[in-house]
Amino acid sequence: MSRLGQITLEWADGDYTFALKIKQLIELQELCDAGPPYILTRLQSGTWRVNDVRETIRIGLIGGGMASHEALKMVKRHVDDEPLAYNALVAQAVISAALFGAPEGAEDSPPEKPEADQQTSHYHAANSAGPHTSEPGSPQD
């Protein structure tokens, strides 16, 4: 797991590094009127708001090293002018990396675009970066 909370994903027209450090998480929290875990829950459940998607990606690009004016330009081009469902998966991966760390090899496995009939919550179930729990009755270490 990456302790830096950054993740590199194939998005838009190339590979981009996203990171939400404390400064970026505070800004995201203010813009979305919700804490980071709550934003992640909305992204996972499909009850997200536009700013949950848009601002997570924009601020994540800035945290990953992109100039703010470039990040805004990218978001206008690849979020505002595109269907939001795929970008909701990207935002989910970005905020998951910030909260839990990026899984090993995250650079090699970007979120897949959902089929028209798939829900975003299916992505989370298969690719959750969150903590894992033991099944009932499993021995504990």
The average pLDDT across 32-59 equals 98
* Lowest mean pLDDT, pick from 27-36, 65-74, 112-121: 112-121
34 vs 66: CA distance, rounded Å? 24
Task: Return the SS3 of 24.
Answer: helix
Amino acid at 141: D
User: What average pLDDT is seen over the chain?
Assistant: 81
If one compares 62 and 117, the residue with the highest pLDDT of the two is 62
> Residue 11: which pLDDT band, with cuts at 50, 70 and 90?
very high
pTM attached to this predicted model: 0.74
Structure tokens at 44: 């996972």
pLDDT for the residue 135: 37
92 vs 33: CA distance, rounded Å? 17
Q: How far apart are the first and last CA of the chain?
A: 20
